[in-house]
Amino acid sequence: MVKTALRRRLPLVAVGIAVLLWSTSFGISGEVLKTASPAVLSVGRFAIGLIVLVPLAARRPLFARTVRDPRTIVLGLLGVAIYYALTNIGLEFTSPGTAALSNAALPALTALLGLFILKERIAPRTIVGLVLATAGVVIVAGAGLTLDIGVLLCLIGLASYALYTVLLRKGALAEDQQPAAVGLRPAGAVDPLVLATATAVWGTAIMLPWLVAEMAAGAAALPSGWGGLGGLLLLGVVITAPTLVLFNYGAERLPAAATGVVTAAIPALGYLFALVLGEPFDAITALGGAVALVGVAIASVTAPSTDSSPAGSGLPPHVDVAAGPFERD
């Protein structure tokens, strides 16, 4: 009974840890952007992350096949290329604290897309959490969250990431409906490390033309100093790689609305980290962040059951996938 309860909470814990790491990225990215250009930062952090992830994922089943799957390309475009590119460009026009606060829109975007695309019912506890998180957004907005070009870019990126989250869940549910042969691995099952790595491969590849264009325009700049080089290394190894794996694991197994509510912690935590790095404190903004965190706590007290969610990513079945548990590409 205890093990079952813990297993059901693992996806929620995974998303929570991913959100905690994610929240620090705005301030660190702001430090890196003091010397580096946006494309160098975006491609560089994922290139470093892939140095960590690829050797681990390549040893697991279905890695090459997952990289080739069209769904992985879409996930890489939405969850890596568009989101991180627009966020890093947005940080050129707004502060890290403001960029973090703009993430308060993510829970509502994710829940709404989950409602329309997945037809997921939103539980009363989740609704309460979303209402409180939205109230926190309103408080923060009244404290000075301005709709400048940087925030607009961040919001477009957030819409892309919300769709990425919903498509992760949609693929998982589709796989759950595909019966597996008795005694064999479910068709198309791929573990989170493999899917996250394959997604990062495509996201990085899609951003390469942007880096080339930046270099051709003479706008590319490499990071320098402890804040630049150290920040980029920290983003790649400690933040990007673990966040991808943990978020993919949890988002596949949790209802989209629940995942979205947990991400409501990003504005408060991101703003708090920005304060640590030197941004001025604002009491009303802090109050809004606290209200959003209360919404997260209420929605997360009772973790949803994950028994019906699959272990894999819902990739289309292949005739040779059911060859056995040790099949490799």
d(CA 174, CA 121): 17
d(CA 166, CA 144): 30
Which residue's structure tokens are 């940080």? 91
So what's the pLDDT on residue 8?
67
pLDDT (tens digit per residue) in 151-206: 889 889 999 999 998 888 776 555 544 444 433 344 345 678 899 999 999 999 99
pLDDT (tens digit per residue) in 198-230: 999 999 999 999 999 999 999 999 999 888 999
pTM, entire model: 0.76
d(CA 192, CA 149): 34
Centroid of chain to Cα 92: 21
When pLDDT is averaged across residues 131-149 and rounded to a whole number, the result is 68
Least confident of 177-181, 236-240, 308-312, 324-328: 308-312
Outline where the chain has alpha helix (H).
Answer: 2-32, 38-57, 63-68, 70-76, 83-90, 96-102, 106-117, 124-142, 149-176, 192-216, 225, 231-234, 241-253, 256-262, 265-276, 283-300
Q: Comparing 126 with 214, which gets the higher pLDDT?
A: 214
pLDDT (tens digit per residue) in 34-54: 999 999 999 999 999 999 999
So what's the pLDDT on residue 135?
79
pLDDT (tens digit per residue) in 61-77: 889 999 999 999 999 99
Characterize 137-171 residue by residue with b for buried, 16 or more Cβ atoms within 10 angstroms of its Cβ, and e for exposed: bebbbebebeeeebbebbbebbbbbbbbbbbbbbb
d(CA 290, CA 293): 5
Q: 170 φ, ψ to 5°? A: -60, -45
Q: Tell me: pLDDT of 84 over 90.
A: yes
Pair of tokens at residue 303:
């973790």
Cβ-contact 27, 273 below 8 angstroms: yes
Counting residues of the chain whose pLDDT is more than 70, the rounded percentage is 78
So what's the pLDDT on residue 200?
95
Rounded to the nearest integer, the mean pLDDT of the chain is 78
Sign of torsion over alpha carbons 193, 196, 200, 202: positive
Domain positions in the chain: 17-305
